[in-house]
Structure 1
Amino acid sequence: MPTGPATLFPDNTLFEHLNNQELPFYLDFMAFMSEHDVPSAHPIADTQGHYLRQVCGKPAALIQKLPGASILDPSAQNCYTLGQMLGKLHCVSKDFPQQRDNVCGPHWWRTTIQSLDPHLSAGELKLVHSEIEYQASFRNTHLPTGVIHADLFRDNVLFLGADITGMIDFYQACTDVLIYDLAISVNDWCSLDDGQLDNTKAQQMIAGYHAKRPLGDAEKQAWPVMLRAGALRFWLSRLRDLHFPREGEVTHTKNPAEYQNILTQRIEQHNHLNAHWPGDLIS
């Protein structure tokens, strides 16, 4: 169990949309990361050693509070540092003994677009269905897998100065292709306002990752596909949140058009996306 000032004032988290069957995986994974020098908030166990509690009939947990703040306009150096930390997370996660399916994978894409069908334009529907069909043609069984964060956006990483002090919000974590996790982060951290990639930031994040977990040629070849898959997944989730907001939940709905633009750019630039890998990365 971690000690020190960060554990003295924990956050009491009440889970409205996760249940008692789902939460142990996430809490155990957060604890495992923290215990292996990945800066995750460690859940605090009760006197029986359980992380999960019940408050007012709902699951809850005391979660270690971490120092730092998110950087919403990261530098290329910040991107390199994040790449290193994500690579380290993946090296550690291979020894995590539990697994969990990605509930926002291809099956979810198909069911989600069915529910969204009445709300989207013909052009939007064509783009989604075309991309789902394209992704179905790609087989990723040859790519390294493990437990991934699956939501490592800028607002889920804390910095103090140039150092990462926290990786938070592990409640999308699942077992999936490792390079997909990197693609999700590159799409968020390294995209320009029009959806195109910032070449320098993307190169730095990939190089930082490679420094901790060396990437293979198969992963390089799959890179454009993974970028497109990550863009599709978050476009669909933002569309769902816009058209089907959860009852009783007051949140800021993120703009779906941002990820529609990112997906469109990744499709248009598909044959050039490997150029964002540093030239000497893969021998």
Structure 2
Amino acid sequence: PRLPGEHDFAVDLDRCRQVGALLARLHRCDTGALLALPDERRRLETLATQLNQLPYDHREGARALLSDWQARPAGTTLIHGDLFRDNLLWQQGRISALLDFYNACLDYPEYDLAVTLNDWCVDSNGKPVAAREQALLEGYREHGGQLDDSLLLEALAVAALRFWLSRL
């Protein structure tokens, strides 16, 4: 009630561009003055205890994916880590507030993009919508965001696994 705007879960190309631009600005923030942030690697490690709840034929692939990601040193970029549609407020078609920094941490911008793409750029059946993905990534790049496409592909799988495991 203290921030302007309303929840609005509509998704279109303009909103995807705005979300990409917002992430680019967040990822360029200076982190030098920040207090210690939670560690996403620890969260993922905790979720790994849920791997045995996955269907049997998915366990080994999921374990290998998580292990590979965890072996990579953590990134140093400030990320939101949970930019789902319910974490934005809108006013007159523009983003007015970014909410819920509970999952904020230092990690790779590709991971943050992956979490966001997995929510904003899929249809009602969870299938990727290429035009939305392109709009979000264009907004990101147009506002100074830089990313490694191969790291983004891995991060998309890790982010999807994170939310699958967290909802078991």
Does 1:136 find its partner at 2:67?
Answer: yes
Please list the CA deviations of residues 235-267 of structure 1 after superposition, one character each: whole Å capped at 9, or x if unmatched.
Answer: 11111xxxxxxxxxxxxxxxxxxxxxxxxxxxx
Does 1:227 find its partner at 2:156?
Answer: yes
What is aligned with 1:155? 86
SS of the residue aligned with 1:207?
A: helix
Alpha-carbon distance change, 145 to 94 in structure 1, aligned in 2, over 3 angstroms: same
Q: Structure 2-normalised TM-score?
A: 0.87
Deviation at 1:206, TM superposition (A): 0.8
Does 1:109 find its partner at 2:47?
Answer: yes
Alpha-carbon distance change, 93 to 155 in structure 1, aligned in 2, over 3 angstroms: farther
SS of the residue aligned with 2:29?
A: helix
Alpha-carbon distance change, 212 to 96 in structure 1, aligned in 2, over 3 angstroms: farther
What is aligned with 2:143? 212
Larger Rg: 1
Does 1:236 find its partner at 2:162?
Answer: no
What is aligned with 1:14? none
Alpha-carbon distance change, 66 to 128 in structure 1, aligned in 2, over 3 angstroms: farther
CA contact 2:65–2:158 (8 Å) conserved in 1: no
Whole-angstrom distance in 1 between the partners of 2:13 and 2:144: 19
CA contact 1:69–1:158 (8 Å) conserved in 2: yes
Alpha-carbon distance change, 210 to 94 in structure 1, aligned in 2, over 3 angstroms: farther
Q: What amino acid maps onto 1:76 in structure 2?
A: L
SS of the residue aligned with 2:107?
A: strand
Deviation at 1:86, TM superposition (A): 1.1
Deviation at 1:177, TM superposition (A): 1.4
CA contact 1:99–1:147 (8 Å) conserved in 2: no
What is aligned with 1:196? 127
Whole-angstrom distance in 2 between the partners of 1:130 and 1:145: 27
What is aligned with 2:77? 146
Whole-angstrom distance in 1 between the partners of 2:113 and 2:30: 14
Ranges in structure 2 where 5+ consecutive residues have no aligned partner: none
Alpha-carbon distance change, 133 to 215 in structure 1, aligned in 2, over 3 angstroms: same
Please list the CA deviations of residues 144-196 of structure 1 after superposition, one character each: whole Å capped at 9, or x if unmatched.
Answer: 53221111100000111221110001111122211100110010011112222
Deviation at 1:84, TM superposition (A): 0.3
What is aligned with 1:98? 35
Q: Structure 1-normalised TM-score?
A: 0.54
More helix by proportion, 1 or 2?
Answer: 2
Does 1:77 find its partner at 2:14?
Answer: yes
What root-mean-square deviation, in Å, do the aligned CA atoms of Structure 1 and Structure 2 show?
Answer: 2.1
Whole-angstrom distance in 1 between the partners of 2:145 and 2:62: 29
Please list the CA deviations of residues 22-57 of structure 1 after superposition, one character each: whole Å capped at 9, or x if unmatched.
Answer: xxxxxxxxxxxxxxxxxxxxxxxxxxxxxxxxxxxx
Whole-angstrom distance in 2 between the partners of 1:236 and 1:136: 14
Deviation at 1:136, TM superposition (A): 2.0
Q: Which has the higher contact order (CA 8 A, sep 6+)?
A: 2
CA contact 1:86–1:209 (8 Å) conserved in 2: yes
Deviation at 1:93, TM superposition (A): 4.7
Matches within 5 A, 1:57-68: 65-68=2-5
Whole-angstrom distance in 2 between the partners of 1:132 and 1:96: 35
Ranges in structure 1 where 5+ consecutive residues have no aligned partner: 1-10, 12-64, 240-283
Question: What percent of counterpart residues are identical?
Answer: 30
Deviation at 1:209, TM superposition (A): 1.1
